[in-house]
Amino acid sequence: MGVSLWLIALILLCVFCLLFVIVAFLPQVQEKAIVKKLFFIRTRFRWFFIVISFLLMILVFQYSHWGNTPNIHWVVFVSLTLFVSFCLSKAHQTLITYTDLLAGIIITGSVIITFVNLIPVTDFPFSLSWSEGNRIWDYSIPFGRALYDYPTKQPIFVYTDLGRRLLFGLPFLLLAPSIEFVRFWMAIVSFVPYAVLGWIVLSKKSIKGWLWFLAGLWLFSFLYQGGVYAPLIIVAIFVVWACWYSPTWVAVILTTVVGFYVYYCRIHWVIAPAVWGILLTLSPLNSLGSKGTLKEIIKKAMLLTFSASIGGFYFLFSYIFTVSGSLIETSQVFYVPLFFIALQFVLIGLLFINHFIRFWNMPYVRTTSIVLAILLGAACLYLFSQNTFPLLLAGQSLLWYRLFPSPTHSLGILLSLFIAVTPLIIFLTYCYQKRIWHLTHKAIWMVILPLLLFLGIGLIVSVKIGGGNNLHNLDLFTVTCVLVAGIAWRNGVGDFLSKLSVQSIQFKGLFLILVIIPFLLPMQQIRPLALPSVEYTIDALNQIRVEVEKARAHGEILFIDQRQLLTFGYIQVPLVVEYEKKLLQDRALSQNETYFKSFYDDLKNHRFSLIISSPLKTDYTQVNDAGEIFGEENNAWVHNVAKPLLRYYEPIFTLKKAGVQLLVSRANELE
């Protein structure tokens, strides 16, 4: 379709929607016969019009050059939202009501988020981002190891955590999935669980149907702002299901499983299941006019706290009683999980003091609390005996300036977080102050304490070198906000929202703004995927294959980057596991001299006949240089990887559009 036709289609869409806006807000026009005809057409064909309009929007945004124009995004979004609101309306006296407008915003925004996630679904063989291709290689290892020419009895070390690999690697249970199918699965997993959590956390027998569906979609958009990893969302789903919808024996099994699972994901997530278990299970006791058997609720809370902590206990004591001094000498990474596990016990203890002291006479409360206290004491004694706390930040730079606007994040972490979470926090605070949310004054600390803890952890992790470009390190805080919203929903807020149409004009205006805010980010992200031509891609693959065939007889071939070319059979050579790109970058950030000694020895000895990398540069970056998002990370890479590599190897050609550089041994090393 030519550019002129795209422009015509876009103009027609906006004019069409504008006409409906005029009709909607001019009562004298609404009495005309044509308006009554519109009511009839809307009733018969509402979903047909909605689907067609969404398809046209996606075609404009993702498959035409208009998708690269932000102003066009907003024109289309506003126009389409009004049109969808009209189509959704079932009113007979007006074309659009306030609640219809809210529904139109939420559904249109959710469709945009869905298609933003689907943008990377393509059969393009090269990596779409800095580490996308190598992450696909990581995901393939649990179930797709047979795809590689590598000794079966030798382990394959992978940088990405096992929890993500098991989830995103499920397509490799198939014999030979395509790269497009794997990217489709990665996209589905990256947004479907968000919506599922939103709907599960808001489920209530007295509130179902349209309101429940829309509120769940809004929480889905709220979570999307934080870039939360899918495994944590799935953990939250299981915890919610265990606490609110399962008998005690099933809940214990579920929380035990997720307690182990989070250990194999990100280590500071070990805190989450037990804290969420207490927060959700005890929520009936913290509500005015709560129902439920006191003994049953307390007993379930204690059991879930303990079962959710089993994964942390297992790691803690297996490490303490493992006779392996070399672990302590060679890696400090083990100290971090020990710290977070102890921190978890401290938080649980504080929650016990806040809520369980009045139930101290119950035997299982007293017994469980004593056991947890003993374990906490043992953990802390061991940590202090090993001088753990001073070592926590060893080799890990904290870049506090990334909390504020910088090249790494144009808004900065603090401002971006403020924009993302303020709508929900303002609304929940309003509901609490107006007694819409039936929460006791004492129990407010049950909500605030986990939020403050997770906020502190998230901010520290966000400013650690290697982070700070988005909010994904504040994932525990973001998910906890959603769980708190679910508690409020079940205790008065859901019923309040079902009567939203009778609220004041001032409240409606503020609430409308709060609903729109989570859709600001995806509106900026939806755009066409910029890829080189098919001819260029095929030619690039052929050039790599030719060089690989030349080099394979003279030594090993190392894929620092683009390992997905091995995964999907684009290139077929024996796998060299060492020196993967993400691992090299991580070791560069921690200045791991032991690791790089072996790397430099292999380079000096010309172990590899060919190296495939992303294009290398040797220029250092000034901190806060506007042209470099990750200045410190770039400098660590240049110093530890790029310069030593180019000392012993030289590029033979670079494929800039594919993000590939091929290097062979130098005849004479550089000084």
Reported as half-sphere exposure (CB side, CA atoms, 13 A), residue 658 has a value of: 26
Measured distance CA(209)–CA(206) in Å, rounded? 10
Angle formed at CA 399 by CA 393 and CA 400, multiple of 5 degrees = 105
Q: How confident is the model at residue 368 (pLDDT cuts 50, 70, 90)?
A: low
580 or 309, higher pLDDT: 580
CA angle at 543 for the pair 542 and 545, rounded to the nearest 5° = 65
Summarised one tens digit per residue, pLDDT across range 47-95 is 888 898 888 888 878 777 777 777 777 878 888 888 888 888 887 767 7
User: Distance between CA 578 and CA 542 in Å, rounded?
Assistant: 25
DSSP 187: H
Q: Which two tokens stand for residue 627?
A: 């042209």
Average pLDDT, stretch 577-588? 94
Q: What percent of the chain has pLDDT over 90?
A: 38
**Residue 232's pLDDT is what?**
95
Sequence-distant (≥ 6) Cβ neighbours of residue 61 within 8 angstroms:
67, 73, 76, 112, 115, 526, 527, 528
Give tens-digit pLDDT for 527-542: 888 899 999 999 999 9
- Look at residue 649 in the predicted model and tell me its pLDDT: 96
Question: What's the CA gap between 444 and 349, in Å, rounded?
Answer: 17
Q: Helices 294-320 and 248-263: crossing angle, nearest 10°?
A: 30
The least confident of 240-249, 440-449, 495-504 is 440-449
User: Between helices 272-281 and 475-488, what is the axis angle to 10°?
Assistant: 10
Other beta carbons less than 10 A from residue 664's beta carbon: 19
Predicted confidence (pLDDT) at residue 362 exceeds the cutoff of 60: no
Nearest to 279 by CA among 482, 490, 483: 483
- Best mean pLDDT range from 299-303, 358-362, 439-443, 520-524: 520-524
Q: How far apart are the first and last CA of the chain?
A: 56
User: Which pLDDT belongs to residue 479?
Assistant: 96
Distance CA 397, CA 289 (A): 50
Global pTM reads 0.86
> What pLDDT is recorded for position 336?
44
- In tens, the pLDDT along 93-126 reads 677 888 999 999 999 999 999 999 999 999 999 9
Question: Is residue 638 predicted with pLDDT exceeding 90?
Answer: yes
As a dihedral over the C-alpha atoms of residue 420, residue 423, residue 429, residue 430, rounded to 10 degrees, the angle is 170
Strands ordered across the beta sheet of 649-655? 556-559, 608-613, 660-665, 649-655
Residues above pLDDT 70, as percent of the chain: 78
CA dist., res. 53 & res. 16, Å (int): 11
Question: Contact 397/636 with Cβ under 8 angstroms?
Answer: no
Highest mean pLDDT among 317-331, 357-371, 429-443, 631-645: 631-645
Q: Where are the domains of the chain?
A: 3-118, 132-186, 190-500+520-525, 534-665
State the amino acid at position 268 in one-letter form.
H
pLDDT at 139 over 90: yes
pLDDT for res 13: 63
Alpha carbons 21 and 16: distance in angstroms, whole number:
9
Which pLDDT score, from 0 to 100, does residue 6 have? Answer: 54
